[in-house]
A and B are shown apart, each in its own frame.
Chain A
Amino acid sequence: MNDDRGNEHPEAAARPDAETRPAARAISVGAVLRNGRPAESGASPSLIFDVQGLRAFYGSFQAVADTTMQIREHEITALIGPSGCGKTTVLRCFNRMNDLIETARVEGVVRYHGVDIYGEKVDPVEVRRRIGMVFQKPNPFPKSIYDNIAFGPRIAGFKGNLDDLVEESLTRAALWDEVKDKLKQSAYALSGGQQQRLCIARAIATSPDVLLMDEPCASLDPIATLRIEELMIELKRDYSIIIVTHNMQQAARVSDRTAFFTVDVKETGMRTGRLVEFDATEVIFTRPHQKQTEDYITGRFG
């Protein structure tokens, strides 16, 4: 089901996973929120994630060193840094996608709306419904455009009008006008940029409040890239977005806050990612506090 990088087949992300769903007494994140359990102390109303002491391992290999950061609601947060700095690993911690890698282990706390998503009774499937993900290579299902959007809600037992939901999702992803007359056509007939917007629409259809994007424009041409960037800025009205990007200029263009990660290489040769600086994007790109940040964004190192 998973490729070598641990990327889950997108259908699995939408399908209830019997192996990982806890027993009947399990409490979903949604239930905790619906029960009105107060946010844990220290959580600010404007935060969507509060990460404390996050460490990630693949077996004995530590991919990410102690990381503490707060992600704000209705902002675009960019994670940048050289290859191997752990930014994708950190991104995948936000929706427990690393659970799907057998050797992966996460320590520390990742609070989402005040609830630690790695808590014992938290349902990771519910987590992934609320925290959607868009991958580097557009990966529409081998289905029609319509069914790409409808699949997830159907599985989740959506009882409302699917046609309306499909239209709303495609509209929010700025794709509706281009596909409204060919919803039954295969998603594979769309261009790369359109497929990626379809994937965003698919992620939106399950009503998340967070969108995680792992280098969403890496395989797109410059115009399609700019369209996705404009879309992201519109989407942050309704969602909080965290994006991993190799393209630091993209981070500068779209994000409100930027986190710069670097790679520390130990004597043993182990390469561990570490958060160096996290600040308003304007600060990072005009007067960063850390020399390592300055060296990276000016291209002197990386």
Chain B
Amino acid sequence: MTDDRIPHSEIRHRFDAELDGIKHASVALGSLVLENAGRLTEALLESRVDLAQEVIDADDPVDRAYIDLERRVFRVIALQQPVASDLRFLISIIRVAHEIERSGDLVVNCAKGIYRQQGFHLNSQMQGVLARLCRAALDLFGSSIESLAALDPGAGHRLDQEDDVVDALVGEFYTLLANESEGMHVDTAIELSRVGRYMERIADHAVNIGEHIGFIVTGIFPRHGEFDEGGSA
């Protein structure tokens, strides 16, 4: 009697195509936010209020793409009964999408600060530190999106280490801000401190994305290991 067994991927190719589509959509969502973040950096460093407004306006497509992605994942979970790595992937994409969407909101929050201040008009020293901070945070975010595309299991550990650079730059920025703040309006200083905080949080979201990618591939969530006493229940 002839054997019916053939490799799984040849059977559920529509399901596999849907999963690929979801991965591409999540990378595209990340790219949207990254693009807007680039716009923000220019607005920040060149005091471009018009660009800040563009950043704010560009959030709607991000929100729509996020909602669309979540609906798509929900639909696949409901209709295709995924298990194992497929289930880990889909659950993780929901989390990753949320990290990306929150990062997008933080980019917009920075832009709103620029808008409220009608540009920060920073001295060259402040500009220099802020530029390095933005570049480091957004490079980290960009790296997390690349890791998502490649499903790189080492992303979590690597991004966590690179985050130390961002944290150090945030510290440097706050130190400089503290020194410079006497000559500033207090609300300007507050807005600038928020920008530093938002950049730090964008970097944290990137680290989280890396951890979710690791979970997709290995089924292990790094932080859970802290509570694992070596045996399963």
Contacts and interface: CB of A to CB of B under 8 A. Distances in A.
A224 B1 CA distance: 14
* Most A-side CB within 10 Å, residue of B12, B13, B74: B12
Interface stretch (A33-41, A53-61, A149-157, A186-194): A186-194
A221 B1 contact: no
A289 to B, nearest CB: 15
Interface string A212-230: 0000000001011011001
A227 B75 CA distance: 22
B2 A190 contact: yes
A233 interface: yes
A230 B14 contact: yes
Contact of A191 (B2, B12, B79, B81): B2
Nearest to A226: B11
B60 interface: no
Nearest to B13: A230
A143 interface: no
Given A230-B11, A230-B13, A282 B79 contact: yes
Nearest to B14: A233
Nearest to B11: A226
B52 to A, nearest CB: 39
A223 to B, nearest CB: 6
B75 A253 contact: no
Contacts of B81: 249, 252-253
Contacts of B11: 223, 226-227, 230
A286 B14 CA distance: 20
A148 to B, nearest CB: 15
Nearest to A188: B1
A252 B2 contact: no
B184 interface: no
Contact of A252 (B3, B5, B6, B78): B78
Nearest to A250: B81
Nearest to B12: A226
A285 interface: yes
A95 interface: no
A240 to B, nearest CB: 19
Contact of B2 (A178, A221, A233, A253): A178
Contacts of B2: 178, 189-191, 194
B1 A227 contact: no
A191 B2 CA distance: 6
Interface string B1-31: 1111110100111100000000000000000
A281 interface: yes
Nearest to A190: B2
A223 B2 CA distance: 14
B6 A223 contact: yes
Given A226-B12, A230-B14, A286-B74, A190 B1 contact: yes
A94 to B, nearest CB: 25
B124 interface: no
A252 B79 contact: yes
B24 to A, nearest CB: 21
A194 B80 CA distance: 24
Contact of B79 (A192, A224, A226, A281): A281
Interface string B183-195: 0000000000000
A227 B6 contact: yes
Contacts of A192: 4
A230 B1 contact: no
A191 B78 contact: no
A253 B14 CA distance: 10
Given A282-B75, A286-B75, A224 B80 contact: no
A249 B2 CA distance: 27
A286 B4 CA distance: 33
Interface of B: 1-6, 8, 11-14, 74-75, 78-81
Interface of A: 178, 189-194, 221, 223-224, 226-227, 230, 233, 249, 252-253, 281-282, 285-286
10 A-B pairs closest in CB distance: A193-B4, A226-B11, A252-B79, A224-B4, A285-B78, A286-B78, A191-B4, A249-B81, A191-B2, A191-B1
Given A221-B4, A253-B79, 10 more contacts: A189-B2, A190-B2, A191-B2, A191-B4, A194-B2, A223-B4, A230-B13, A252-B79, A253-B80, A282-B75
30 contacts: A189-B1, A189-B2, A190-B1, A190-B2, A191-B1, A191-B3, A191-B4, A192-B4, A221-B4, A223-B4, A223-B6, A223-B8, A223-B11, A226-B11, A226-B12, A227-B6, A227-B11, A230-B11, A230-B12, A230-B13, A230-B14, A249-B81, A252-B80, A252-B81, A253-B79, A253-B80, A253-B81, A281-B79, A282-B78, A286-B75
